[in-house]
Amino acid sequence: MESLIQYFETIPVAHRTIFLVGGLTFFLLLEGGIPLFRFKSSKVKHVALNLFFTLTTLLINLAGAFLILKASDFNAANQTGLLNLFAIPLWLKVILGLLILDLIGAWLIHWIEHQVKWIWGFHVIHHTDQEIDVTSGLRHHPGESVMRLLFTALAVFISGASFGIVMLYQTTSGFFAHLTHANIKSRPWIEKIFSPIFVTPHFHKVHHHFTLPHTDRNYGNIFSIWDHLFKTAINVNSMDELTYGLDTHMKEKEKWHIPTLLKIPFQKYRSPVGSKFSD
């Protein structure tokens, strides 16, 4: 365990790139073999659009890495953060670190994005994708990417996680973004065994159904336990029941056109059927 954390403390940029690109490539190939749905639109066009948002997300995360590093260094220098309150084995510190980082840096900000109207406007871009696949995982408006980065830094500060644990979390989070959005058919026994603890492909895709209440459920990133704990988990009888997208943004231009997508957060709020927001 110690050697693993040491590796992630000094993980080269080339290795992180290999993990990201390798994961994308692996699941793209897997989608061709065991697709959950067969989409009619151009795969190349869909991948190209989502890679644009992926690149903006990566650039923002690269610029914000300094903030995360400083939060981690502060904790190390001052022994602050929850993980530094008690002397615990490294393996337990890693597990608790991943849990806390996932709760605050992923689940909490995702939940907030669905509860606060002006923040929801930025998150809409992720939900306008009507053909969810592996490239959808990092389809985030730059404004949303900044908010997620700030919550990741907050999670690092609160948890007291070392830089090695943070990098392990970031890499694991990237893998789950690929896995849970990939257009692959998952076996029922896999879902039954793993979905009570981890976010599985079918568990997350329910979140991308185009109407409420499904859109406001299954927020998890790595661990599904937060959704089960906070009563935000929901299941469907069959994946064929799902229709991807948002009932408020189903026009072709709001699915494909980058300038249109970038402007959505600054447009008037559109109320979906069953909206919890006032108009």
pLDDT tier at 254, thresholds 50, 70, 90: confident
Local structure of residue 218 (DSSP, 8 states): -
Mean pLDDT of the region 232-251? 95
**Each residue's pLDDT tens digit, 1-24:** 889 999 999 989 889 889 999 999
Measured CA to CA, the distance from residue 154 to residue 171 in angstroms comes to: 18
Nearest by Cα to 268 from 110, 140, 118, 127? 118
Three-state secondary structure call for residue 131: coil
Give the pLDDT mean for 216-239.
97
* Length of the chain counted residue by residue: 279
CA angle in degrees (0–180, nearest 5) for 31-14-156: 90
Query: Which pLDDT does position 279 carry in this prediction?
Result: 56
pLDDT at 278: 62
Q: What is the mean pLDDT of residues 49-71?
A: 91
Q: What is the pLDDT of residues 66-114, one digit of tens each?
A: 899 999 999 989 999 999 998 999 999 999 999 999 999 999 999 999 9
Q: How far is CA 236 from CA 19, 124, 202, 212, in A?
A: 32, 22, 9, 13
Tokens encoding 62: 């690269």
88 close to 119: Cβ distance less than 8 angstroms = no
Sign of CA dihedral 23, 25, 28, 30: negative
Identify whether the C-beta of residue 204 lies closer than 8 Å to the C-beta of residue 180: yes
Q: List % helix, strand, coil for the chain (3-state, nearest 5).
A: 65, 0, 30
In this model, does residue 269 exceed pLDDT 70?
yes
139 touches 123 (CB < 8 A): no
For 174-203, write each residue's pLDDT tens digit.
Answer: 999 999 999 999 999 999 999 999 999 999
Q: What count of other Cβ atoms lies within 10 Å of the Cβ of residue 48?
A: 13
Identify the pLDDT of residue 160. Answer: 96
Q: What's the whole-model pTM score?
A: 0.95
The encoded tokens of residue 220 equal 């998890």
Tell me what pLDDT residue 221 has. Answer: 97
User: What are the backbone dihedrals phi and psi of residue 106, each rounded to the nearest 5 degrees, phi first?
Assistant: -130, -65
Q: pLDDT tens for residues 100-110?
A: 999 999 999 99
- Residues 6 or more apart whose Cβ sits within 8 Å of residue 121: 264, 265, 266, 267, 269
User: CA dist 189 to 42, 152, 194, Å?
Assistant: 32, 33, 8
The whole-angstrom separation of Cα 218 and Cα 87 is 34
Mean pLDDT in the chain?
Answer: 94
Query: Where do the structural domains in the chain lie, given as residue ranges?
Result: 2-187
For 258-271, what is the mean pLDDT? Answer: 94
Percentage of the chain lying above the pLDDT 70 cut: 99
